[in-house]
């Protein structure tokens, strides 16, 4: 039986070595899968960022249109109305003197 021990140890060593290789192969597969997932998520994040930038651009454009087409004319009309009211108040005050 003493002669079988080195054979068993060598056989177990081969099995352990084989098991380590299988573990390493599995670990590499896991790492490759993780890397693939990270690349996919990175691509998705880039696409999301691009969509957000496009949306922000559209919002800025809409805001510019609203400002130029509505707010600025409204502000001018309001300013003109204030000026007209001020002139009317001055005229009334002068007539009351």
Mind listing the pLDDT tens digit of every residue in the chain (97 residues)?
Answer: 445 555 455 555 666 667 777 888 888 898 989 999 999 999 999 999 999 999 998 998 888 887 888 778 888 888 899 999 999 999 998 888 7
Please indicate, yes or no, whether the overall pTM of this predicted structure exceeds 0.85.
no
DSSP string, 29-97: HHHHHHHHHHHHHHHHHHHHHHHHHHHHHHHHHHHHHHIIIIIHHHHHHHHHHHHHHHHHHHHHHHHH-
């Amino acid at each position: 039986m003493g002669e079988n021990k080195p054979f068993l140890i060598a056989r177990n060593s081969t099995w352990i070595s084989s098991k380590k290789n299988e573990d390493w192969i599995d670990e590499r597969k896991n790492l490759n899968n993780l890397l693939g997932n990270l690349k996919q998520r990175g691509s998705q994040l880039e696409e999301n960022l691009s969509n957000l930038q496009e949306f922000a651009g559209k919002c800025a454009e809409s805001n510019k249109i609203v400002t130029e087409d509505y707010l600025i004319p409204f502000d001018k009309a309001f300013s003109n109305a204030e000026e007209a009211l001020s002139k009317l108040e001055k005229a009334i005050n002068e007539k009351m003197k």
